[in-house]
Structure 1
Amino acid sequence: MSAPDFWVLLGTDYCGKSSVLAELAARTGPVQPMSYDPALLPGDYGALAALPNALVAARAGRHSPEYVMALLNVAVAYLWDRVATAPPGRTPLLDSYYYKILVKCRLLGLTGGPWQDHWRSLPRPAGVIFLDVPPGTAWLRSGGGALLNAMEHYGPTAGEESFTRFQRDLRTGLLDEVRGLRVEHVPAGQGIAATADHVLRAMKE
């Protein structure tokens, strides 16, 4: 597969990726944000909007790991479909790419099928922008756990300890997956507009 020049916006849960991507999407500039977040999906990709609910059911044990991973591959395939239709002169900025999906599957014991090998065979980005956020801040953004889904914490019940431990392991796993790539860290606490500006500067440099 021939890969265009693209970047990845990466981070743990509730790091602010969706807000930054929405901010960039509202601007007319050199970056084309691409996300499988339901709030950011184009109208003709409505089938992906049902993915979060399907994954919650899958993690509840009603589906096999192979089925869960096949669902997750739809999100990865969607990103490539969007990259292929990116407007000329705009650099795609992909939400998480396959990295977050792959690491979460590993942490939650979801294995089987060809998916992990397939994801790792995909083209590598020109660089990664990593949004850093402390687990305590992420916990507050999750409404003290009220907004969590089953793929954002360890165990059957969401709690601050299981969430914090999962997020720390997730961060370690993500950085391990992108080792060898150019990674630019963007600290928390700048505000959405300032963070978006930081992302643009990092991509330009």
Structure 2
Amino acid sequence: MLLGPDGAGKSSVMERLGRTLPEWRLLSTDSAFVAPEHALISRLRRDLHDHLLPGLGTAYSVDFLAGVLQTAVIHLRDQVQDSDPRVPLLVDSYYYKILAKCRMAGVQDSRLYSWWRSFPQPSRVVFLDVPPETAWRRRGDGTQLNVLEHDGEDGDWAGFERYQRNLRKTLLEETRDLPVTMLPQHPDADRAAEAVREVLVA
């Protein structure tokens, strides 16, 4: 599993690994990795960003948010369970980041979390440990944030930094019983992808 805070570069790394590890199967809810027969996942992701998140707390509750996000969790679980065990598999965040964000948003449904935690576990976690300062720049100095990437209403630097540090802490807490390889920030996506590849094929 590939994991990291917002702006860690997971999508860029996955895209490059798709070219350098053709024998691997890569799973993500990013449209580039969603099969045509699962186009509903891409549509739900767009609607989440375009409609649900802007209305969170007014038009939609955090419990409704968890219900929509669960579609991504179950989709990834289904794909993991249906995978050929002879084919190496890399999953972008699996359920871990969604669970962490639901916890931080105030979703209290422990039964939901227990169910997700019962899913097949990754044999290894590669954590892209990018500092908030880098992630902030990658988010257009805060101009490209959504409400699940910062504390407070304004999306300023202080709220972003606080949220991202808490997200990192929560992600590591959720994966504390798994073998985690921490990778520090690399100068560019190509070198980050190469560092991840070295871990995967070691």
TM-score normalised to structure 2 length: 0.89
What is the aligned partner in structure 1 of residue 60 from structure 2? 63
What is the aligned partner in structure 2 of residue 44 from structure 1? 37
**Whole-Å separation in 2 of the counterparts to 1:59 and 1:112:** 18
What is the aligned partner in structure 2 of residue 92 from structure 1? 89
Deviation at 1:159, TM superposition (A): 0.9
In the alignment, structure 2 segments of 5+ residues that lack a partner are none
Q: Could you tell which deviates more after superposition, 56-65 or 115-124?
A: 56-65
Whether 2:131 is the aligned partner of 1:138: answer no
Q: How has the CA–CA distance of structure 1 residues 59 and 16 changed in structure 2, closer, same or farther, with 3 Å as cutoff? A: same
The 8 Å contact of residues 27 and 76 in structure 2, kept in 1 or not, is answered as yes
Q: How has the CA–CA distance of structure 1 residues 61 and 197 changed in structure 2, closer, same or farther, with 3 Å as cutoff? A: same
State the SS of the aligned residue for 1:168: helix
Aligned amino acid, residue 48 of structure 1: I
- How far does the alpha carbon of each residue in 1:150-192 deviate from its partner, in whole angstroms, 9 at most, with x for none? 1111122211110110000000110111002110111112422
Q: How has the CA–CA distance of structure 1 residues 146 and 60 changed in structure 2, closer, same or farther, with 3 Å as cutoff? A: farther
The 8 Å contact of residues 73 and 115 in structure 1, kept in 2 or not, is answered as no
Aligned partner of 1:129 among 120, 126, 129: 126
What is the aligned partner in structure 2 of residue 27 from structure 1? 20
In the alignment, structure 1 segments of 5+ residues that lack a partner are 1-7
Aligned amino acid, residue 17 of structure 2: L
**Whole-Å separation in 1 of the counterparts to 2:185 and 2:30:** 21
What is the aligned partner in structure 1 of residue 170 from structure 2? 173
What is the aligned partner in structure 2 of residue 157 from structure 1? 154
Deviation at 1:36, TM superposition (A): 0.7
Q: How has the CA–CA distance of structure 1 residues 18 and 140 changed in structure 2, closer, same or farther, with 3 Å as cutoff? A: same
Q: Could you tell which deviates more after superposition, 22-31 or 67-76?
A: 22-31
Aligned amino acid, residue 189 of structure 2: I
TM-score normalised to structure 1 length: 0.88
The 8 Å contact of residues 12 and 170 in structure 1, kept in 2 or not, is answered as yes
1:101-140 alignment, distance < 5 Å: 101-112=98-109, 114-140=111-137
Q: Could you tell which deviates more after superposition, 73-82 or 135-144?
A: 73-82
Aligned amino acid, residue 6 of structure 2: D
Aligned amino acid, residue 44 of structure 1: E
User: Which aligned segments of 4 or more residues in structure 1 are displaced greater than 3 angstroms?
Assistant: 27-30, 84-89
Deviation at 1:111, TM superposition (A): 2.4
